[in-house]
């Protein structure tokens, strides 16, 4: 049994494969680079759930494979929940983690430490060829630091300190530490047994 994960992000794919494998040992997880190319949809929905479903539905329609897709981002309280669904494209095209992080730091430069609260949100959707769909959400609360720290993870990990691991950014955590608390880890652990059950 194959499941498509609708992503080309190597770090995200590896993270998803690792967590899914705990529940789905007989399932082969493939990414977008492992299937015939298709027109990927525009992520134009106002919610993480909406964008995850758009990507999952496109994947199952194009490949006939059960398709998992996620949409995630950082929601900063002082910015009224932004970047939110715009997280990956916050600084404009082309996508750049470094530019996104630099822009976020600039936007929060005058915000005092006690108001730099934020959370990562993730929605993971499954679209099955028979029309059934599942969506779960995960969340990781924390705060935005004033400088980039750490070499692990991706995206805004270098700026984010989770409430569950104060003192270190999520880019400074070990893989297992981050998996245990991350928004994506929580959502994947919730959906993995549901997917395993759905695939029989």
Whether the predicted model's global pTM rises above the 0.85 cut: yes
Domain residues for the domain of 117 are 2-199
- Residue numbers in the known binding site for substrate are 7-12, 72, 154-157, 178, 183-184
Structure confidence at residue 1 (pLDDT): 81
- Residue numbers in the known binding site for Mg(2+) are 71
Please name the residue that has the structure tokens 């300190």: 161
Residues acting as catalytic residues: 71
| Residue 83, domain CATH | 3.90.950.10
Are 8 and 31 spatial neighbours (Cβ–Cβ below 8 Å)?
yes
Structure confidence at residue 45 (pLDDT): 96
How many domains would you assign to the chain? 1
Structure confidence at residue 38 (pLDDT): 96
Phi/psi of residue 181, nearest 5 degrees: -115, -10
């Amino acid at each position: 049994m194959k499941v498509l994960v609708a992503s080309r992000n190597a770090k995200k794919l590896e993270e998803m494969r690792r967590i899914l494998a705990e529940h789905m040992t007989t399932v082969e997880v493939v990414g977008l680079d492992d299937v015939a190319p298709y027109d990927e949809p525009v992520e134009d929905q106002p919610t993480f759930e909406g964008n995850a479903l758009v990507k999952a539905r496109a994947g199952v329609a194009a490949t006939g494979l059960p398709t998992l897709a996620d949409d995630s981002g950082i929601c900063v309280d002082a910015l009224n929940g932004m970047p939110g669904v715009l997280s990956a494209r916050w600084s404009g095209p082309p996508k750049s983690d470094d530019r996104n992080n630099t822009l976020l730091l600039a936007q929060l430069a005058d915000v005092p430490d006690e108001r730099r609260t934020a959370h990562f949100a993730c929605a993971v959707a499954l679209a099955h060829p028979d029309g059934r769909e599942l969506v779960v959400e995960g969340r990781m609360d924390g705060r935005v630091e004033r400088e980039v720290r750490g070499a692990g993870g991706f995206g805004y990990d270098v700026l984010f300190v989770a409430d569950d691991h104060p003192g270190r950014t999520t880019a400074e955590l070990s893989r297992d530490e981050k998996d245990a608390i991350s928004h994506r880890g929580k959502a994947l652990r919730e959906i993995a047994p549901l997917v395993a059950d759905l695939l029989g």
